Amino acid sequence: MSSEVSAVYANALFSLAREQGDASLQETRADLRQLAVLFSLNPDLTRLLSLPTLSVSERIGVAKRIFGEEGNACHLLFLLIDHGRVPFLHEIADDFDAKMLDYQGTVEVHVTTAVALNPGQKERLRSALAAKLGKTVRMTEHIDRTILGGVIVQYGDTRIDNSVKYRLDALKAQLS
């Protein structure tokens, strides 16, 4: 879930990288994703770079020794350290990824089914969603046997629940 803080930083970083060209956008995205993964795998790193017992310049110095000083993602990290926002790094990376997908005319769609879709079903669903949304669809499939059947489609803030479980729950609510 995106916060206002992460959205502001992601938008600013995206605008900066876009002004520098598509190669910079791709490099910034890759570097930012690497930082986010590194910080999620090493929570002590977030704590270290947020320690109030170290001055901001000392914390930035530590980050420079670990990550170097080159690239938009590193400069963002220094800014986050300076403003006490290092814990937002993963959210910012997610928001940046979402902006990149939108810029590329792509939408991330999460599809949940009770059983795996066969390739033909996947392609028909992808084509229908692409036609409806007017974008290229990048689809991620999840299997959840508890929905019993049907499909749940999620993209952006939209959720279309056409599962058997949802229909049974709705029927149960009507009968109560």
Domain locations along the chain? 4-102, 105-175
- What is the spatial distance between Cα 86 and Cα 67, in angstroms, rounded to a whole number? 14
Question: What is the pLDDT, as a whole number, of residue 157?
Answer: 85
Lookup: tokens for 28: 């910034």
CA dist 68 and 56 (Å) reads 16
Are 90 and 39 in contact, with CB atoms under 8 Å apart? Answer: yes
Q: The pTM is what? A: 0.77
Of the candidate CATH numbers 2.60.120.1060, 3.50.30.10, 1.10.520.20, 3.30.565.10, the domain formed by 4-102 belongs to: 1.10.520.20
* pLDDT tens-digit series, residues 101-141: 999 999 999 999 999 999 999 999 999 999 999 999 999 99
